Amino acid sequence: MQALKEKLQDMNASHNAKAHAREEEKVEKDLAKARAEVAHEVRKAKEAEAEMELHMAKAAKRAQKEIEKHTSDQNQPPNASVATATAAAAAAAAANPRNLTNNLL
């Protein structure tokens, strides 16, 4: 009877150890999955930021071309002060393309 009781206790302990090991493995697997998802999102954010910087640089170049086109005319339009303000904003945007929209508004 004592041997049977010890065998049942050993089986129960073995079962508990296996269950604990499965739980730890599941936690580690979930953690690895979460890390992979975070890395994926960080990569996507970096790509989006690079794409945004490219578009902002293109916008600054186009704004500069428009300013040059309007300021190269010998006859100044009646709203020359607007062109001057836009030229200043484009110059600031060329220095820092991220602030282009802030400077033009």
Q: Which two three-digit tokens encode residue 59?
A: 């916008």
pLDDT at 104: 46
> Which residue ranges of the chain lie beneath pLDDT 70?
73-105
pLDDT at 19: 95
Beta carbons within 10 angstroms of residue 104's beta carbon: 15
Query: What amino acid is encoded at 68 in this protein?
Result: E
Query: What's the pTM value of the predicted model, to 2 decimals?
Result: 0.49
pLDDT at 4: 87
| pLDDT tens-digit series, residues 56-76 | 999 999 999 998 888 876 455
Alpha helices in 1-105 (DSSP H): 2-71, 80-95, 100-104
